A and B are shown apart, each in its own frame.
Chain A
Amino acid sequence: MIKAILIFNNHGKPRMSKFYEHYTEDTEQQIIRETFHLVSKRDENVCNFLEGGLLIGGSENKLIYRHYATLYFVFCVDSSESELGILDLIQVFVETLDKCFENVCELDLIFHLDKVHNILAEMVMGGMVLETNMSEIITQVEAQGKMEKSERLQDVFVEFSHQDLLDFYNQMEMIQTQLTR
């Protein structure tokens, strides 16, 4: 099981956090801080595995992370997950983000938190790996994106063909006639 997936930058600012067990907001922040503390002090060329911090599950769990430019991607997993497998999964996640955002950078994640969550939801569900095939993930994400887009067009259409639009024009007309008087 994956217990949590965290993304934060070199300064420990959270960019995305997904916990598959419930914690209070305060504990979540503590976990993020603790994880950042553990991960950030490690050199570049040391191994990517860490014994779990005190807060999240303790020694049963492992932290598996990768560091890309300004961002840390950290997966907290228990013993049923393969360490190297999760490392690959992180790679898939990042590549998928890269495809979906076209050259992903930290700013993309900051401004489109919901989208990052949606992509992740296609890979990991409730702490279990759902899909590891990148093209399949992208297909599903894009299909949902398309649906959203078509709804947005509909939206404009529906909203402006509505009664309130008519009222709006009537109102404007009334004001105009009052002004011209």
Chain B
Amino acid sequence: MALKIVKGSIDRMFDKNLQDLVRGIRNHKEDEAKYISTCIDEIKQELKQDNIAVKANAVCKLTYLQMLGYDVSWAAFNIVEVMSSSKFTYKRIGYLAASQCFHEGTDVIMLTTNQIRKDLSSPNQYDTGVALTGLSCFVTPDLARDLANDIMTLMSHTKPYIRKKAVLIMYKVFLKYPESLRPAFPRLKEKLEDPDPGVQSAAVNVICELARRNPKNYLSLAPLFFKLMTSSTNNWVLIKIIKLFGALTPLEPRLGKKLIEPLTNLIHSTSAMSLLYECVNTVIAVLISLSSGMPNHSASIQLCVQKLRILIEDSDQNLKYLGLLAMSKILKTHPKSVQSHKDLILQCLDDKDESIRLRALDLLYGMVSKKNLMEIVKKLMLHVDKAEGTTYRDELLTKIIDICSQSNYQYITNFEWYISILVELTRLEGTRHGHLIASQMLDVAIRVKAIRGFAVAQMATLLDNAHLLTGNTQRNGICEVLYAAAWICGEFSEHLEDPMQTLEAMLRPKVATLPGHIQAVYVQNAAKLFATVLQKHEGETDSQAAQETSQLLIDRLPLFVQSANLEVQERASCILQLVKYIQKLQQKNVEVAEEVTALFAGELNPVAPKAQKKVPIPEGLDLDAWINEPPSESESEDEKPKVVFAKEEPKHYRSRHTEVDEKELARRREVRKQEQANNPFYIKASPSSQKVYDAPGVEHIPVVQIDLSVPLKVPGMPMSDQYLKLEEERRQKEKAERKKKEKKKKREKRGKGRKADSGPESEEDITPAHQVDIVTEEMPENALPSDDDDKDPNDPHKALDIDLDNLLSGFSSRPLADSEKLPVRTHRPEVLKSPAEDRDSKSVPQETKKKSSKEKKEKKKDKEKDRKRSKEEKKKKKKHKEVEEELLESQPEEAVQSEETKEAAAPPTSTSAEASDLDFWLSSAPVPPAAAQEVTAPSSAAAVDTSSAAAPESEPDEPKDTEPEDTKSSKHKKKKQKKEKEEKEKKKKKRHHHHHHHGDAGGEDSVQNGTVEEEEPLPPMSNYSLLAENSYIKMVYDIQGNHQDESKVVVSVIFENKSDSFLKSMEFNVLDSLNSKLQRPEGAGPHDGLTVPFQLPPGVSNEARFVFSVQSIVMPQKLKGTLTFIVKSDESSTHEKLDFKLHFTCTSYLITTPCYSDAYAKLLESGDLKGSSLRLEGINMPFHHLLARICFHHHFSVVERIDSCASMYSRSIQGHHVCLLVKTSDQTVSIDAKCDEPSLLGNVLDEIKQTFSKC
């Protein structure tokens, strides 16, 4: 026995340590694997020994082998043994090994919980440190749950070394155990102001990481971060904070305004490039979030672009790369400022560094215009020829296609050129993007009718030379192009010059080597061609040619009938039989052409790729319900129909639809036509589109000039270059013509004329070579306006979307529930409880908990189930939401809340102290917001109104029940995870809302290639009107109905300090009338004033809200009031007083409420409403401005608008319906109105009249 131990000790001296192992491996280069396997055997022996030192040594060697790619998970238990050694040296080895090879699936991890807890509380800081480091790599949900409390304690450890590690690891804990976020967050926030910079930095790190995923929950921390940003000198921390601000600004544009100045200062002052770069990046984000075109911001853009130019010009490739990267962000919103640096970017295209070239390519995307597209693409084509390495070449190819096809082919003036470019691209060998070229060819040929003749000719040549493309390899991606070529030739065969030749080309034996799905298209389209040929020869007396064609098909098709591909086989045999039958008829001299062509009659319309998804599910249809009884379990797997056909590219199925029941199709088409004709919102394809050449100067581009008989022109000058030349000539000529015209013109329009004359031509001057009509893609008529098609539902960060605001504010309405406290576990049995069970047992009437646990559970189910259930889940949540809303509505004190604060950040239940703090902080920005609001608020109306007007316009049939619910939900901000769609929608609304304060003038959606009529931007408007003013203070106010309470209105007053002194102790008081009363806090007397919750430094303004209760709303009324305040200057302070009159108009009792045309019609039909009318003369403004004004100033929404006539709707807070029919004809506007309360209506009409008499 003793001898054995001695032997062990002695043996140890001969054991290999890590260094020996490494040396050994290096000495056995030839048979490394063999050597290592013997070493692993040795290690296994060593691990069997009792001596912990031997074990640790073995584990250390395993760590090395793990790096070399050997699986060492079999030693997991030994690693745990080494981890639990009392010696730091071994413990560290153990934890290192664990961090390298443990993961959630490692089962021994559950044995470590207690050991780790022991280490965490070890008196030795390095034991704790090592445990934390290890844990950060292999923490599991169970470990996170069990240790969260211990780690939280460590966040307040005396040693900063431990604190910073504990803070950092919290992020991992949150990820694995989201329930811990709420209880731990206050302490985490505390650490932002830790005395130790390392701990501070760690806290910033964690919060930034959290906020990046769910920024809106962290908006309220902005003031704190702002303070850190202005005080910190640690560049790391600064970079993180600045990056965080970049994520926050899109949610709160006011924050951006506040940031610009300090950021600009940093840009000017810092010497660290990394910091400079991040500042520029965030400034860009701010500028994107703010509206464009504000004068003082163009300076910031200039500064950014200028700094970026310096970066790009730097010899350091890294800076160059980053400069281009940031430039591409500016490009999205301020293309003009980037375009002036085109030279620089084109230069970068020639850089030897591929990354830089790729970045420059990205930028090119935004720099093209009608004018330079051809030139830029030519340059890219040159690069394609030169490029070595397929990846870069493929990238170029996709970029060329991207650039050309962007925003609906906006920049292409000559589609013949584009087709030639596509054809040239097919020469690329070994590209993966054959299908991309093919889909472009299809798209262009289908949607640009004018180009079909040319496209068909080109495709015919391609088919003729198919052998050049395919070579011998089947896997060559480029042969996908033939798919498009064959389809285009078949579908538009009427344009073919020699269909017979093409038909012949399509039936060559070589075709049989192509992939199945392409062959199928060949066969099908051969039939279409056959039909065309027949028709061509029909009139002729000599039926020889037609019969020859039939014979050709009968000869060649059997080849395809033998195909191994089912699709090919089936089509071929069908068509073969058909042709045989036709041949018989031909021999009897029966005219068949018409019937054969009828097989393929009818035009195919392009369908938007998302159309299918967007078809709303009709009411009462449950897709998850069984149609028949569910099949019994036994027959499940084997008898499932195999998906044989789904393999084919599904998007091309539309080409097959023609063959389905022709009659049915015709009928449907007829119905659709009818529907479209009756639908004023359907954009009809203009019938003139068949006309190909009608633009001036086009005679230069007849197809004849290009020698099409020469196949593909592989050597020599590429065809597209000829177009470039021609285009230049054409433009030259046009320009000359224009000049002539201009000379004739008098010089009255000099300004404009000069612009066009001098310098390069401006965009509008370039007329397209063809009058083309790009057909828009069809969408289902009642498609839902959502773009949320791609978001990963399994994102772990979704679980962390937890509201934290009310936690932070002092008097939280939702304090931590007992169940939310982190579990403290001392005994084993509890640990063994399964997590699911555990969660269930904790379910309490806390909807946070419920939801997150629900989500957890959801996650656990496998994906397929998940998808099925998501619908159910949605319903559930909706119900849930409704309940919540009801709850909210039953709380009248909620009414105090202003809409704005709600929108900004706070959830409805909190008294929004935090949010209003944030508001205050934000509003005390250097720019006096009152002024800013005056200037900018207006357009918001435009934004809101055009959107509300546009929504019903474009989707008149939208189901009634969904929309009101959504709007409702936007009023009641929910605090928890929402369905993404709703979130998106809300975001949209939010944005609109923010426009309310900083909107840009006329934020109309970008107009796509002439599909939407362009409207002039709206002039600025504001609802704030002057309340009172003296030399110290100015008050403006606006009154809004409260959505939740039918007897309350909210008066928002902006106080602006005009003096050089400090204004404080402001008290707002109103003399109540019988009808209207100021809401005073409980316990206050009926004549007490309300203290304004802020003070005003010189030049600053801020907004306060007051709630009034109103009984009758049918009459306008005025209330007298007084504001008292103390003016404090350096020497003295005086008590001042300002009287005012609050004017409650009837309009202020109206609430913008959307209404649908059918509901509206019903309302009018009901006959409960009494009418009245109004005529306005001399109104000199566009109709949409007029509507926008009514919408904005009088809280109406547009129900429907047809030409110069619109119906509008609004509702009073007490539920009166107000309907308007507005008509206009030369400067006269007539408004017919109906309302169930005649005096209210009369007053509203008077107010409308007043509004328009003012302007």
Contacts and interface: CB of A to CB of B under 8 A. Distances in A.
Contact of B277 (A1, A16, A84, A125): A84
Contact of B5 (A84, A128, A167): A167
Contacts of A47: 317-318, 320-321, 353, 355-356
B19 A111 contact: yes
A103 to B, nearest CB: 18
B212 A80 contact: yes
A88 B317 contact: no
B136 A151 contact: no
Contact of B209 (A1, A29, A113): A1
A166 to B, nearest CB: 9
Given A125-B136, A168-B6, A49 B318 contact: yes
B1115 interface: no
B103 A159 contact: no
B205 A129 contact: yes
A46 B19 CA distance: 36
A118 B92 contact: yes
Contact of B171 (A128, A132, A140): A128
B1084 interface: no
A128 B168 contact: yes
Contact of B165 (A110, A117, A125, A155): A125
Interface stretch (A17-25, A69-77, A93-101): A17-25
B835 to A, nearest CB: 19
Nearest to A164: B5
Nearest to B90: A151
B811 interface: no
Contacts of B5: 164, 167
Nearest to A143: B126
Interface stretch (B64-72, B248-256, B466-474, B694-702): B64-72
Contacts of B161: 140
Contacts of A125: 132-133, 136, 165, 168-169
Interface in A112-126: 112-114, 117-118, 121, 125-126
A148 B169 contact: no
A125 B235 CA distance: 19
A129 to B, nearest CB: 7
B136 A113 contact: no
Nearest to B202: A130
Contact of A114 (B6, B63, B87, B133): B63
A130 B168 contact: yes
B317 A45 contact: yes
Contact of A167 (B6, B133, B198, B322): B6
A82 B6 CA distance: 56
B318 A171 contact: no
A55 to B, nearest CB: 14
Contacts of B3: 171
Contacts of B87: 151, 155
Contacts of A114: 18, 60, 63, 92-93, 96
A34 interface: no
Contacts of B124: 147
Contact of B322 (A83, A111, A152): A83
Nearest to B134: A121
Given A49-B321, A130-B164, A147-B88, A80 B243 contact: yes
B239 A14 contact: no
Nearest to B137: A126
B9 A128 contact: no
B278 A82 contact: yes
A98 B1049 CA distance: 70
B96 A117 contact: yes
B274 A113 contact: no
Interface in B317-367: 317-318, 320-322, 352-356, 358
A102 interface: no
Interface residues of B, number: 70
Interface string B139-168: 000000000000000000000010011001
A111 B321 contact: no
A171 B6 contact: yes
A88 B1143 CA distance: 63
B349 to A, nearest CB: 15
Contacts of B807: none
A25 B70 contact: yes
Given A20-B137, A82-B239, A164-B2, A29 B69 contact: yes
Contact of A148 (B2, B88, B318, B322): B88
Contact of B352 (A46, A126, A127): A46
Interface string A58-78: 000000000000000000000
A94 B235 CA distance: 19
Interface string A13-50: 01011101010111011000000000000110111111
Nearest to A23: B103
Contacts of B22: 110-111
B53 A155 contact: yes
A138 interface: no
Contact of B133 (A45, A80, A121): A121
Contacts of A113: 18, 63-64, 67
Nearest to B26: A110
Max chain B C-beta neighbours (<10 A), residue from A88, A125, A147: A125
Nearest to B124: A147
Nearest to B212: A80
A144 B127 CA distance: 10
A128 B6 CA distance: 46
A134 interface: no
Contacts of B355: 46-47, 49-51
A113 B67 CA distance: 10
A26 B69 contact: yes
A131 interface: yes
B390 interface: no
B287 to A, nearest CB: 19
A136 interface: yes
B942 interface: no
A93 to B, nearest CB: 14
Contacts of B92: 114, 118, 144, 148
Contacts of A42: 353
A28 B19 contact: no
B89 interface: yes
Contact of B198 (A16, A51, A128, A136): A136
B126 A82 contact: no
Contacts of B444: none
Max chain B C-beta neighbours (<10 A), residue from A24, A88, A128, A143: A128
A1 B213 CA distance: 12
Nearest to A120: B133
Contact of B136 (A45, A111, A126, A133): A126
B849 to A, nearest CB: 27
Contact of B6 (A18, A126, A164): A164
A147 B133 contact: no
B317 to A, nearest CB: 4
27 contacts: A45-B317, A46-B352, A47-B353, A47-B355, A48-B318, A80-B208, A82-B274, A83-B274, A85-B239, A87-B274, A110-B22, A111-B22, A114-B18, A114-B60, A114-B92, A117-B96, A125-B168, A126-B137, A128-B168, A129-B236, A130-B165, A148-B88, A151-B88, A151-B89, A155-B87, A164-B5, A164-B9
Closest 9 CB pairs of A and B: A126-B136, A84-B274, A47-B317, A22-B103, A46-B353, A167-B2, A29-B69, A47-B321, A164-B5
Given A48-B318, A110-B26, 17 more contacts: A46-B317, A49-B355, A51-B358, A84-B318, A87-B274, A114-B18, A128-B206, A130-B165, A130-B168, A144-B92, A144-B126, A148-B88, A155-B87, A159-B9, A164-B9, A168-B9, A170-B2
Interface of B: 2-3, 5-6, 9, 18-19, 22, 26, 53, 60, 63-64, 66-71, 87-89, 92-93, 96, 100, 103-104, 124, 126, 129-130, 132-133, 136-137, 161, 164-165, 168-169, 171-172, 198, 201-202, 205-206, 208-209, 212, 235-236, 239, 243, 273-274, 277-278, 317-318, 320-322, 352-356, 358
